[in-house]
Structure 1
């Protein structure tokens, strides 16, 4: 099943990348300025990098799960569901076939077990 993909905005993508790396350079690199320097005190105040990906991974998992459920809902709307009459007919056919096959296998089993009793006294 293919995923419904949305084109990502390059500015949004760039901003997310800057957030992940911790850089606070120019948000719009097209203006051509030098990246803004972060003061050493500001760098020390930033939280360690390890807890951030864990929280982001959980958030990413939740977003992907919600997106998956939305896609499932849209795909289920496209399904042509059978009518009650078709469902009852298919159910009857399945039940009859199961009974016929079980009767056949029961007969074969009985015949083979009788043959084994005759051959092995």
Structure 2
């Protein structure tokens, strides 16, 4: 099967693909506003803690390198 034939077959499947997408989105359980705010807070706190952790590690490694190089 050539490229154009495969392209044509894919285009014919397009409408059914989008119908399937809409059907699947109807099955999704969307979070409430309260849940969404809670989850967002958890993500922000986690990202902040990880950023602070890596900043401390980076500072420590740079201090060790300065001691080794004697600068």
- Give the TM bin, normalised by the shorter chain: 0.7 to 0.9
- Alignment partner of 2:49: what SS? helix
Q: Distance in 2 between matches of 1:90 and 1:60?
A: 42
The structure with the largest helix share of the pair is 2
The reply to whether residue 71 of structure 1 matches residue 20 of structure 2 is: yes
CA RMSD of aligned residues (A): 2.1
Alignment of 1:58-97 (within 5 A): 59-97=8-46
- Equivalences for 1:39-54 in 2 at 5 Å? none
Bigger Cα Rg: 1
Runs of 4+ in 1 over 2 A off after TM superposition: 53-63
Of the two structures, which has the highest relative contact order with CA contacts closer than 8 Å and spacing of 6 or more?
1
1:120 and 1:65, CA in 2 relative to 1: closer, same or farther beyond 3 A? same
| Pairing 1:109-120 to 2, within 5 Å after superposition | 109-120=58-69
| Structure 2, unpaired ranges of 5+ | none
> Take 1:103 and 1:54, find their aligned partners in 2: how far apart are those partners?
51
